[in-house]
């Protein structure tokens, strides 16, 4: 790749950047000709001088029952209120308003995991009928009303968005918990949100197995009860109508099957409740491994306006598209960019039940071919996994993507190029969208018809988002400085979460305290939003994200971005995945330990280990030389596919690996542990704070 480079002179407050600049890749003319956003003037219209009124342009994409009188109310800083005085309903905007022109159009296309089970199309008319009937049930049977919270613990089936939209119709605040989470995690979230009702499902397919899901509901209720929250009703959807696939008993008087209750509500219609713009639409918990989970509270008007506009301009969604986001609805990506954004735009959103590599690595491309998917949205971890399992697979299928999305972690330029050339067949535009659960929608990305792409860089900030990079002392790091720092956003925006549910103090201390200029101020200029990510800005204004600042490895006083090291390891031909963790080193304080897995057809060897070390020394420098390179059969991963660096760090440092039962592949942990520590029993030691916090899932 690049010639050896010296470590830049950086202080403890800064992070050195060793990455070389990548070449631009330009969007094809055919894409530009049909794009929703081709006016470069949008950045001028959303300049800081025009803030906050500029965001009217986004809000105008929605149907309002009543217009707002105040665009941004800062009187309760830093809890910002958008479009105050305005009223609207999210379910009306995602469903009813499309009926006049598109009731017969697909809203959701459900693809079951078993390949012989046909896909199911839910039209906008179907969605309207189902959302109304479920809303009637929630209102009359479960006694739910505006402002109540409901926990929804459901897999990727169309009944999930139906249930969310039914809540939204009533102004009920939904809290969707990722189905892969344990009953305990669900129970903690039920308690934190104060939900009286849990909506669950009996089972679903994952990796060829029909999983029992209802058992988790029982555990969840126990945990919630221990935390003082009683749940009165458990509503259970069934994967197959009239057939119960769970072993868990139904508790008389508490549990009920949705398919048995629903016929009583046939034909019922519920008028959408006109909600204040700043009323909470949902809670989304970020999954910390330590401390209580944080319930990010998102608003109705600001959130919906922001995700609708960004889905339209960045994802380039038109009503005619077939759009497939492979994320799970249990994460923010699914909320914003499977459900609310795409449906507000009246498009067809594909929901896939299972894992992308089931039964083989060709599955996503067969789905794309069969449904005519033209916008494809996924994460680097899936891209790496699909490349590892079937590098040539996409070529066998006849699909055509106009746009592809990557989200969730920095993408290595090498992986980006495979995505572009092989998956996108060199024709699709890629948007690398950087954002967070807390931010509701995208913060940085290229505008696909306006900017060239740069592999590995998210791109410029979104219109109306004004980032600033601070070092630890609060000094601004200018573009092109070759140094990274803490990326913050100078101004509020409508998609931002409103607070942490029930814990305003934690909201302020986590996200606003660090660089606040005056904590009594009601002026938004005094309250930069702290993202917790490290980033640097190139001279051309593009942002490149290094990952969580907590994940930085401090080697002999040099703060190394983990992503850079992993990126370097991935330039080695044989390497499929790489994860780096800090290991205690007597001399340097911390040293990097590198874990890699190989592409199929390669066997572990000393030579490959050597190549990885060589690559890191050449690309980053000798300072970053890994203490060990471990070639592992697979990485321990969460159910959403993120590599569990926390677990690897614990293994490297002979610390307790903690609870790994919720991982996608818990058996790998023991295998890797044995490989690193040998057969001896695990010596559990506390370990230093930075290593304990390293790689914390959020
Ligand atoms: O570190 C950033 C990384 O994921 C974090 C947010 O995670 P979560 O709240 O789970 O939301 C994921 C979906 C938005 C960020 O703080 N991240 C997200 N997108 C990118 C990214 N890092 C680099 N590039 C991205 N495109």
pLDDT digits (tens, 9 = 90+) for 373-396: 999 999 988 998 899 889 999 999
Q: Is the shortest distance between the CB of 533 and ligand 1 below 6 Å?
A: yes
pLDDT at position 13: 58
Name residues whose C-beta falls within 8 Å of residue 499's C-beta, 6 or more positions apart in sequence. Answer: 79, 297, 507
Please, how many CA atoms are within 13 Å of residue 148, restricted to the half-sphere of its CB?
20
Which helix (H) or strand (E) segment holds residue 430: the answer is strand 429-433
Find, among 424, 534, 418, the residue nearest to 485 by Cα.
534
Confidence band of 3 (pLDDT split at 50, 70, 90): very low
Name residues whose C-beta falls within 8 Å of residue 36's C-beta, 6 or more positions apart in sequence. Answer: 312, 313, 316, 317, 318
Instruction: Tell me what percent of the residues of the chain surpass a pLDDT of 70.
Output: 94
End-to-end CA distance of the chain: 33
CB 105 within 8 A of CB 78: no
Task: Calculate mean pLDDT across residues 554-565.
Answer: 74
Angle, alpha carbons 505-510-512 (nearest 5°): 85
CB 248 within 8 A of CB 218: yes
Instruction: Tell me what percent of the residues of the chain surpass a pLDDT of 90.
Output: 79
Q: Is the shortest distance between the CB of 698 and ligand 1 below 6 Å?
A: yes
Distance (Å, whole) CA 437 – CA 441: 8
Task: Calculate mean pLDDT across residues 512-518.
Answer: 95
Q: What is the CA radius of gyration of the chain?
A: 24
Structure tokens given for 523: 């002026």
Cα 545 to middle of ligand 1, angstroms:
9
More confident: 430 or 289: 430
Strands 197-201 and 233-237: parallel
Name residues whose C-beta falls within 8 Å of residue 50's C-beta, 6 or more positions apart in sequence. Answer: none
CA nearest ligand 1 atom 1, residue: 547
pLDDT higher than 80, residue 169: yes
pLDDT at position 620: 76
Which helix (H) or strand (E) segment holds residue 500: the answer is strand 499-500
At 325 the three-state DSSP class reads strand
Confidence band of 9 (pLDDT split at 50, 70, 90): low
- pLDDT one-digit tens code per residue, 86-120: 999 999 999 999 999 999 999 999 999 999 999 99
- pLDDT one-digit tens code per residue, 609-659: 999 999 988 877 777 899 999 999 999 998 777 888 889 999 999 888 888
Angle, alpha carbons 104-105-109 (nearest 5°): 120
Distance (Å, whole) CA 662 – CA 680: 25
Which helix (H) or strand (E) segment holds residue 433: the answer is strand 429-433
Residue 262 is given by DSSP the state G
Confidence band of 681 (pLDDT split at 50, 70, 90): low
Q: Is the shortest distance between the CB of 379 and ligand 1 below 6 Å?
A: no
CB 697 within 8 A of CB 644: yes
Residue 194, sorted as left (phi over 0), alpha (psi -120 to 50) or beta, turns out to be left
pLDDT at position 290: 45
Distance (Å, whole) CA 10 – CA 434: 25
pLDDT at position 594: 96
CB 399 within 8 A of CB 426: no
Q: Is the shortest distance between the CB of 547 and ligand 1 below 6 Å?
A: yes
Out of 15, 176, 336, 409, give the residue to mutate to test ligand 1, the one with the largest number of ligand atoms within 8 Å of its CB.
409
At 239 the three-state DSSP class reads coil
pLDDT at position 4: 35
Cα 533 to middle of ligand 1, angstroms:
9
**CA 626 to centroid of chain Cα atoms:** 30
CA nearest ligand 1 atom 15, residue: 436
- Quickly tell me which residue has 């899932």 as its tokens: 697
Task: Calculate mean pLDDT across residues 426-443.
Answer: 97
Angle, alpha carbons 77-79-80 (nearest 5°): 90
Confidence band of 7 (pLDDT split at 50, 70, 90): very low
Task: Calculate mean pLDDT across residues 208-219.
Answer: 96
Lowest mean pLDDT among 49-63, 92-106, 663-677: 663-677
Distance (Å, whole) CA 141 – CA 131: 15
Q: Is the shortest distance between the CB of 68 and ligand 1 below 6 Å?
A: no
What is the average pLDDT value for the chain, to the nearest integer? 92
- Quickly tell me which residue has 């809000």 as its tokens: 59
Lowest mean pLDDT among 232-236, 277-281, 688-692: 688-692
CB 627 within 8 A of CB 585: yes
pLDDT at position 287: 58
CB 109 within 8 A of CB 120: yes
pLDDT higher than 70, residue 337: yes
Name residues whose C-beta falls within 8 Å of residue 274's C-beta, 6 or more positions apart in sequence. Answer: 65, 66, 87, 88, 89
Strands 375-378 and 348-352: unpaired
CA nearest ligand 1 atom 26, residue: 434
Cα 596 to middle of ligand 1, angstroms:
22
- Quickly tell me which residue has 């969580």 as its tokens: 548
Task: Calculate mean pLDDT across residues 461-475.
Answer: 95
Predicted structure pTM score: 0.87
Q: Is the shortest distance between the CB of 448 and ligand 1 below 6 Å?
A: no
- pLDDT one-digit tens code per residue, 194-208: 999 999 999 999 999
Cα 140 to middle of ligand 1, angstroms:
39
Neighbours of 280 (CB within 10 A): 22
Q: Is the shortest distance between the CB of 408 and ligand 1 below 6 Å?
A: yes
Structure tokens given for 588: 């340097």
């Amino acid at each position: 790749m690049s010639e050896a480079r010296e470590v830049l002179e950086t202080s403890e407050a800064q992070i050195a950047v060793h990455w070389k600049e990548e070449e631009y890749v330009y969007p094809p003319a055919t894409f530009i000709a049909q794009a929703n956003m081709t006016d470069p003037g949008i950045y001028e219209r959303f300049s800081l001088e025009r803030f906050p009124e500029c965001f009217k342009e986004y809000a105008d994409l929605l149907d309002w029952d009543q217009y707002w009188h105040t665009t941004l109310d800062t009187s309760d800083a830093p809890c910002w209120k958008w479009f105050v005085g305005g009223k609207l309903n999210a379910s009306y905007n995602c469903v009813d308003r499309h009926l006049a022109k598109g009731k017969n159009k697909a809203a959701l296309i459900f693809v079951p995991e078993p390949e012989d089970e046909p896909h199911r199309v839910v039209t906008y008319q179907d969605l309207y009928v189902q959302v109304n009937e479920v809303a009637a049930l929630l209102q009359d049977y479960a006694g739910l009303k505006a402002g109540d919270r409901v926990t929804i613990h459901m897999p990727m089936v169309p009944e999930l968005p139906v249930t969310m939209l039914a809540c939204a119709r009533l102004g009920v605040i939904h809290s969707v918990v990722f189905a892969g989470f344990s009953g305990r995690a669900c129970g903690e979230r039920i308690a934190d949100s104060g939900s009286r009702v849990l909506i669950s499902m009996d089972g679903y397919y994952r990796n060829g197995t029909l999983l029992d899901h209802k058992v988790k509901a029982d555990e969840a209720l126990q945990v919630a009860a221990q935390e003082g929250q009683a749940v009165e009703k458990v509503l259970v959807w069934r994967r197959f109508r009239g057939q119960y696939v769970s072993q868990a008993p139904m508790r008389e008087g508490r549990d009920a099957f949705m398919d048995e209750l629903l016929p009583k509500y046939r034909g019922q219609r519920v008028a959408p409740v006109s909600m204040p713009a700043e009323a909470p639409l949902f809670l989304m918990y970020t999954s910390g491994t330590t401390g209580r989970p944080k319930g990010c509270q998102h608003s109705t008007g600001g959130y919906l306006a922001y995700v609708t506009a960004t889905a339209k301009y960045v994802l380039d969604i038109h009503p005619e598209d077939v759009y497939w986001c492979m994320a799970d609805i249990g994460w923010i990506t699914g909320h914003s960019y499977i459900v609310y954004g795409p449906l507000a735009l009246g498009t067809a959103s594909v929901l896939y039940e299972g894992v992308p590599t089931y039964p083989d690595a060709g599955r996503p491309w067969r789905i794309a071919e069969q449904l005519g998917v033209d916008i494809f949205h996924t994460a680097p971890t899936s891209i790496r996994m699909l490349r590892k399992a079937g590098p040539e697979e996409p070529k066998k299928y006849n699909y055509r993507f106009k746009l592809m999305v990557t989200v969730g972690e920095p993408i290595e330029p090498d992986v980006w190029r495979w995505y572009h050339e092989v998956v996108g067949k060199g024709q699709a535009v890629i948007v690398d969208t950087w954002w967070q659960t807390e931010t509701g929608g995208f913060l940085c990305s290229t505008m696909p018809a306006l900017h060239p792409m740069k592999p590995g860089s998210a791109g410029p900030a979104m219109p109306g988002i004004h980032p600033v990079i601070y070092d630890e002392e609060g000094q601004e790091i200018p573009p092109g400085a070759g140094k990274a720092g803490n990326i913050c956003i100078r101004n509020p925006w409508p998609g931002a979460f409103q607070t942490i549910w029930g814990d305003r103090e934690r909201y302020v201390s986590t996200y606003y305290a660090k660089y606040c200029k005056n904590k009594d101020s009601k002026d938004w200029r005094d309250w930069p939003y702290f993202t917790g990510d490290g980033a640097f800005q190139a001279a051309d204004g593009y942002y490149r994200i290094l990952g969580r600042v907590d994940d930085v490895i401090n080697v002999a006083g040099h703060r190394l971005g983990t992503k850079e090291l992993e990126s370097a390891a991935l330039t080695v031909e044989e390497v499929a995945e790489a994860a780096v963790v800090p290991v205690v080193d007597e001399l340097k304080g911390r040293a990097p330990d590198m874990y890699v897995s190989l592409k199929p057809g390669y066997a572990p060897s000393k030579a490959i280990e050597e190549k990885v070390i060589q690559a890191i020394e050449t690309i980053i420098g000798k300072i970053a030389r890994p203490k060990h390179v471990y070639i592992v059969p697979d990485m321990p991963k969460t159910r959403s596919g993120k590599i569990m660096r926390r677990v690897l760090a614990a293994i490297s440092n002979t610390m307790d690996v903690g609870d790994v039962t919720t991982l996608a592949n818990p058996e790998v942990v023991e295998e890797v542990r044995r490989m690193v520590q040998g057969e001896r029993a695990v010596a559990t030691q506390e370990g230093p704070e930075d290593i304990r916090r390293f790689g914390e899932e959020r």
